[in-house]
Structure 1
Amino acid sequence: MPPLGALDLLAELTNTPPPPETPARTVVRRIKIWTPLVALLLIAFAIAQALRPLPTPALTLSADAEYSFEGGKPTLPWPGEGQGQIAVSGLGVVGQFGEEKPVPIASVTKTMTAYIIMRDHPFKRGEEGEKIPVDALAEKEGGYDATNDESTLNTVKEGDTLSVKDALSAIMIPSANNVARLVARWDAGSEEAFVKKMNDTAKELGMTNTTYTDPSGLDAATVSTAADQVKLGQALVKNKAMVDITRQQEWYDPSGKRHSNYNTLMPRNGAIGIKTGSTTKAGGNLLFAAYKDIGGSTQTIVGAVLGQHKPSILETVNAVSEEVLVATRETLQARTVVKKGDVVGHVDDGLGGLTPVVATKDLTVVGWSGLTVRSGITDGGRKVPGTAEAGTVVGSLTAGSGAGTISVPVALQRDLVEPGFGPRLTRIG
């Protein structure tokens, strides 16, 4: 074979077929192809994880979720007839007695009348509220104190005006039937329409055993239970302007005439009203409330006693209600369950990081033997920060609910920092 020229040699070299395929060569070739792509995807994933918005930090409770007071339920000095209940707002029922069945409540009915008027025509403490024109019927019915033996405000005349505050005072202090009916007509256009509002409101408040048929309570078909009236009383005393009215021992009407409150519990034992009611059929009835300062908080006690027929029925119901109120106040106790500086929870950054929070004050719960009080931790509607220095207040530790809530601020035990790159990279979801 003759020798190859230069061009022929080059062609021979470049046209050399590739080595035969083997499993090892296949693996190597695939690694060379996919490694850069995988690396690129990992880099993109890491960048995406790092740039994703962080979860919203949240407060979590680590302290006890409830606190129990030792012992059995308190024994209260209830009367031998009728029915009753007494509770502490936000904490629960301290005690009750009697059959929980609807009975006539007489002028205790006016509590709902006053509640609706104050709700729909509110005014602040120290104000008088809107003006209510006195109509001819209200003047006429003012004379029923002599002809029908009703409780009325007999000093009002057609063409006069009553402020809402004076009207509510007339309803809640001398228990003026004519003014209760007047405000019903003024508010709703008719007494019938107002009665519908009363029953609708009762349903809203969970008063399942109550039926209103008139705004004054003179009608014996208006019936309720002690438990239902306690619910209403708890709602009413949330309004401090209303409490300013119900706690009066006496009231002077616009003519200057003095009227005494039939509720004689004030001013003893922190009593703040609320409303008496009495008829021959209903007996003596009293929905009452009181404050007690204990454990660094003010607790609101609301009770009702219905169906007292021992003469004099109003004196009887006032006396037995006071005994129950005094006993309830005495059974309340305070217990410190968290000390200042105790770790009570954490700020959870959502990626596994937990920053402890501590109570900034002692937490003292209020209750009575046999009661369990639930606790919780809340940011109070404020967004927990992503970063903050140690000592920053980020929420509150609470015990109880509603008007009975006791709370202390909670603060960061150490600096709160955002999650590092590792937790950001490995998070799922």
Structure 2
Amino acid sequence: MRTTFRLRPWLFAAASLLLTSPSWSQPQPSGKLQIKSASVLIMDEGDATVLYSKDAQKVMPIASITKLMTALVVLEDDQPLDELVTILQVDRDKTKASASRLAVGTKLTRSELLHLALMSSENRAAQAVCRAHTGGLPACLKAMNAKARQLGMKNAQFVDPTGLSSGNVATASDLVKLVMAASREHLIQEYSTSEKLTVPVGRQLLEFHNTNSLTSKEDWDISVQKTGFTQDAGQCLVMRATIQERPTVIVLLNSFGKLTRVADARRVRRWIEGGVGTQMARAGK
């Protein structure tokens, strides 16, 4: 005699739930990138694929991301990097909205000032090297805006070399172009990613550190970076980092909270390492 077993409806439902529940399947990374920054652009530089975009065409204040452009035009001015530049009262006056450890009268080389501007976001250092540009501050600012047009940064505008002014604006799309241009300069790579620098200020030796904590992490491979912050711009971060053996440009603008931009950068990295970014790019999403 043939025996037939019937599965009760509630047992069938339970079995179906066990088979389909995510907790019983292979873990899969989520396709949605949870990110806190207001404007974002992530690009695989290898093939110029946009992996993620969020309000990337919105014109926004960029704070000290400005200093990447300042460094570009100062280097292109081709003045001696070992030449001493003095911090003047006018540099203090122009940056009075921010604190600085560089007292008026401090003499540092152009190289040291560029290093401090990129690594520690030192405003007086950026102001001084731009003022010492051939033709002075007006010529430096003119060169910064001309360079922006040359790079195709259609919405970028620079009115000071530090980023303290909210008149310094760009889109995330503009800043991808700036980061890639900066990454072609060896000194910008070196200075922006170094962990610390000690320089003589008066009779003291002062040690400065990088404003981006990720540069000291051994599991990050960052070739160019710059942080920024003002009340209007919020917390900002741009980076060119190698992720999954691919050069990736990350632009994060207007993050709220001191550590949010770093947390967002980590989220981006995990998202790409999970394969989601690449999969979505291939799918045209």
Q: When the two structures are superposed, what TM-score results if normalisation uses the length of structure 2?
A: 0.77
Aligned partner of 2:82 in structure 1 is 130
Is residue 2:113 matched to residue 1:167? yes
Is residue 2:250 matched to residue 1:307? no
CA distance in 2, matches of 1:209, 1:261: 29
Q: CA separation of 1:242/1:199 partners in 2, compared to 1, >3 Å: closer, same or farther?
A: same
Aligned partner of 1:157 in structure 2 is 105
The one-letter code sitting in structure 2 at the alignment partner of 1:214 is D
After superposition, where does 1:228-377 map in structure 2 within 5 Å?
228-255=174-201, 256-266=205-215, 267=217, 268-292=219-243, 294=245, 299-309=246-256, 311-312=257-258, 315-331=259-275, 370-371=281-282
Aligned partner of 1:91 in structure 2 is 47
After superposition, where does 1:33-52 map in structure 2 within 5 Å?
none
| Post-superposition CA distance 1:270-318 (Å, at most 9, x none) | 1234111111111111111212463xxxx32111100112x33xx1112
Q: CA separation of 1:171/1:76 partners in 2, compared to 1, >3 Å: closer, same or farther?
A: farther
The one-letter code sitting in structure 1 at the alignment partner of 2:209 is S
Aligned partner of 1:187 in structure 2 is 133
Identity across aligned pairs (percent)? 25
CA distance in 1, matches of 2:46, 2:150: 18
The one-letter code sitting in structure 1 at the alignment partner of 2:151 is L
Kept in 2, the 8 Å contact 1:101–1:209? The answer is: no
| Post-superposition CA distance 1:172-204 (Å, at most 9, x none) | 122111111111111133222211111110011
Rg bigger for which structure? 1
CA distance in 2, matches of 1:332, 1:244: 31
CA distance in 1, matches of 2:273, 2:79: 31
Aligned partner of 1:118 in structure 2 is 75
The one-letter code sitting in structure 2 at the alignment partner of 1:133 is V
Q: CA separation of 1:304/1:317 partners in 2, compared to 1, >3 Å: closer, same or farther?
A: same
CA distance in 2, matches of 1:258, 1:183: 20
Kept in 1, the 8 Å contact 2:72–2:182? The answer is: yes
Deviation at 1:132, TM superposition (A): 3.5
Deviation at 1:206, TM superposition (A): 0.7
The one-letter code sitting in structure 1 at the alignment partner of 2:255 is Q
Q: What root-mean-square deviation, in Å, do the aligned CA atoms of Structure 1 and Structure 2 show?
A: 2.7
> Partner of 2:187: helix, strand, or coil?
helix
Aligned partner of 2:145 in structure 1 is 199
> Partner of 1:214: helix, strand, or coil?
coil
CA distance in 2, matches of 1:78, 1:229: 21
Deviation at 1:155, TM superposition (A): 4.5
Q: When the two structures are superposed, what TM-score results if normalisation uses the length of structure 1?
A: 0.53
Q: CA separation of 1:152/1:325 partners in 2, compared to 1, >3 Å: closer, same or farther?
A: farther
Structure whose residues are more often strand by fraction = 1
Q: Where does structure 1 lack aligned partners over 5 or more consecutive residues?
A: 1-73, 124-128, 334-366, 373-429
Kept in 1, the 8 Å contact 2:73–2:140? The answer is: no
CA distance in 2, matches of 1:332, 1:249: 31
Deviation at 1:241, TM superposition (A): 2.7
Structure whose residues are more often helix by fraction = 2
Kept in 1, the 8 Å contact 2:133–2:139? The answer is: no
CA distance in 2, matches of 1:139, 1:116: 18
Deviation at 1:137, TM superposition (A): 2.7
Deviation at 1:212, TM superposition (A): 0.9
> Partner of 1:318: helix, strand, or coil?
helix
Aligned partner of 1:381 in structure 2 is none
**Greater length-normalized contact order (CA 8 Å, ≥ 6 residues apart):** 2
CA distance in 2, matches of 1:197, 1:273: 21
CA distance in 2, matches of 1:261, 1:273: 12
CA distance in 1, matches of 2:91, 2:115: 17
Aligned partner of 2:57 in structure 1 is 100
| Post-superposition CA distance 1:347-387 (Å, at most 9, x none) | xxxxxxxxxxxxxxxxxxxx655449xxxxxxxxxxxxxxx
CA distance in 2, matches of 1:184, 1:75: 44
> Partner of 1:215: helix, strand, or coil?
coil
CA distance in 2, matches of 1:218, 1:228: 19
